[in-house]
Amino acid sequence: MKVTHVSLRPTDAANAAGRPALTPELLAATGARYSRSDEGLDAILAKIDPDNPDKSVDSIFRMVDYGHQSIADMAPVALFMDGVSLLLAYLLWSLCPLAGGQESSTRYIKMSAEGLVDAETLGIPESSRDVWQLRMTQAFEAYGTALTFWEKIGDTHPELTRIPASLLSDPSPKAKRTVERMRRNYAFDRARYFLPVAARTNVMMVQSARAWVTLVQHLLSHPLSEARTLGEGIRGELALVAPRLLRHAVEKPSLVAGQAAEWRSLSDADNPYADTDPYTCEGNDAVFLQVMEPYESAGNQFARDLADHDNRYAFVGETLRRTAVRFSWSAVAFAEIRDLNRHRTGTKYCPLTPVGFYCALDQLPMQDSRYDALIQIGRLSLQEAGGISDPTAVYFALLGTQFPFEHTTTADKFIYEAELRTGTGSHYRYAQHLRDALALWYERYPATRGLILEGSAEPE
């Protein structure tokens, strides 16, 4: 695991125009002066000693508390985190939904067993390591087998890939490269369910120093040792750019107690998901939708609110913006949860209690006995991941392991997510989940059908 801070530097055009360049802390300090001065930027910058920026920062923060969250929000920091597990990457985005960034994609990159985070880093108990290593080896072997299997299906049944006929018949080198990429994506999208959540990925995030400090507090207070290790790595890089904030970037007793209690609750007798039969395969992915309209008969306004909505970024009327929506599924593969979790708005809820295993059986053109052995790998991982009383048991899970997932937001954001996740380039599985949610929406508000720009998840 490696964490690296990357600084910004002014462009040649900015330098030529004489624009100022400040360190993150000096930027925050300069912005902080606005609350105590009406002199404007030039007057504030004139008081900064370019040969001793730290002195200038300290002189300002004697007047304004840097620990004040609104001040720390003005110090931007970009970090690159290499070699974290797919599970930890999910937790990062859960804790930082507003961060900008990217992650290595299982939809476009072939992964191998060499990319498994080691058991010691994950904190797997000694008594479980041999079984865990065996399950991980089996999972990567199943992933490789499934990838070859789906590549052959794509070659044998090109119509299933939904690649446009015009591309398939185009002899140009560019078209051939595009077809080859789309065929690979078709296979990756269906084979990825056998990848372990303990596989390594890389994440880049850019957010304020305040957000990084909050993240570090959660990570250092987390029951998973991998999270605590990352928290220390982030804290070390923050020391390079926001050293005055480090006194806040520490373990917090309330977070230790609260996060531990949430993990313990997954094995409690009253956990509604804990009694799921671990020997079943695919879970029941029932969909639920709750809508709280801001006033009686507000739904009559919804179609008018979408009258000028000609793309997913376009205008949505105020009644929809005021309407609360909670939508959920009883079983979603972790592969899709990682995608659905990336939406910035609202609150997401995902108790990490396994309820099934999905591995694209519904995508097979015909029943194939060769896939039965692969299903068994998923079933075994499901049984092991169910030992959730030990938090590290979740590292037995694969991307096909299913968990409940819920998202609470407003109607305009729900519509945006549905349009995005059914649009061009969408994964077929989360597209189906959103279509199922939209079907419940249309039952209540049929006049909005056709105004919501629901896509068909065609490949790109």
- Residue pair 87/394 in contact by the 8 Å Cβ criterion: yes
Asked whether residue 222 falls in the same domain as residue 327, the answer is no
Asked whether residue 102 falls in the same domain as residue 44, the answer is yes
Q: Does residue 84 belong to any structural domain of this protein?
A: yes
Structure tokens at 210: 């305040």
- What is the H or E stretch that residue 374 is in? helix 372-385
Q: Does residue 30 belong to any structural domain of this protein?
A: yes
Q: Report the C-alpha gap between 56 and 20 in whole angstroms.
A: 15
Asked whether residue 311 falls in the same domain as residue 414, the answer is yes
Q: Does residue 81 belong to any structural domain of this protein?
A: yes
Cα within 13 Å of Cα(398), Cβ side: 32
Asked whether residue 322 falls in the same domain as residue 411, the answer is yes
| Residue 172 CB partners (closer than 8 Å, separation 6+) | none
Q: Does residue 317 belong to any structural domain of this protein?
A: yes
Structure tokens at 238: 């923050």
Number of structural domains found in the chain: 2
Asked whether residue 2 falls in the same domain as residue 75, the answer is yes
| Residue 254 CB partners (closer than 8 Å, separation 6+) | none
Q: Does residue 51 belong to any structural domain of this protein?
A: yes
Asked whether residue 350 falls in the same domain as residue 240, the answer is no
Structure tokens at 54: 């730290």
- What is the H or E stretch that residue 26 is in? helix 24-32
Coil, strand or helix at 366 = coil
Q: Does residue 203 belong to any structural domain of this protein?
A: yes
Structure tokens at 452: 């919501």
Whichever domain contains 55, its CATH number is: 3.30.1360.170
Q: Does residue 140 belong to any structural domain of this protein?
A: no
Domain extent at residue 22: 1-106+199-265
Structure tokens at 251: 């373990």
Q: Report the C-alpha gap between 31 and 64 in whole angstroms.
A: 11
Asked whether residue 257 falls in the same domain as residue 297, the answer is no
Residue 269 DSSP label: T
How confident is the prediction along the chain (460 residues), in pLDDT tens digits per residue?
999 999 999 999 999 999 999 989 888 888 888 877 788 999 888 888 777 777 777 766 655 554 556 788 889 999 999 999 999 999 999 999 999 999 999 999 999 999 999 999 999 999 999 999 999 999 999 999 999 999 999 999 999 999 998 998 899 999 999 999 999 999 999 999 999 999 999 999 999 999 999 999 999 999 999 999 999 999 999 999 988 888 899 999 999 999 999 988 887 656 666 555 544 566 678 999 999 999 999 999 999 999 999 999 999 999 999 999 999 999 999 999 999 999 989 999 999 999 999 999 999 888 777 788 888 888 888 888 776 568 999 999 999 999 999 999 999 999 999 999 999 999 999 999 999 999 999 999 999 999 999 999 999 8
Strands 200-208 and 76-85: antiparallel
Asked whether residue 250 falls in the same domain as residue 291, the answer is no
Asked whether residue 101 falls in the same domain as residue 13, the answer is yes
Q: Report the C-alpha gap between 69 and 209 in whole angstroms.
A: 9
Asked whether residue 311 falls in the same domain as residue 347, the answer is yes
Q: Does residue 77 belong to any structural domain of this protein?
A: yes
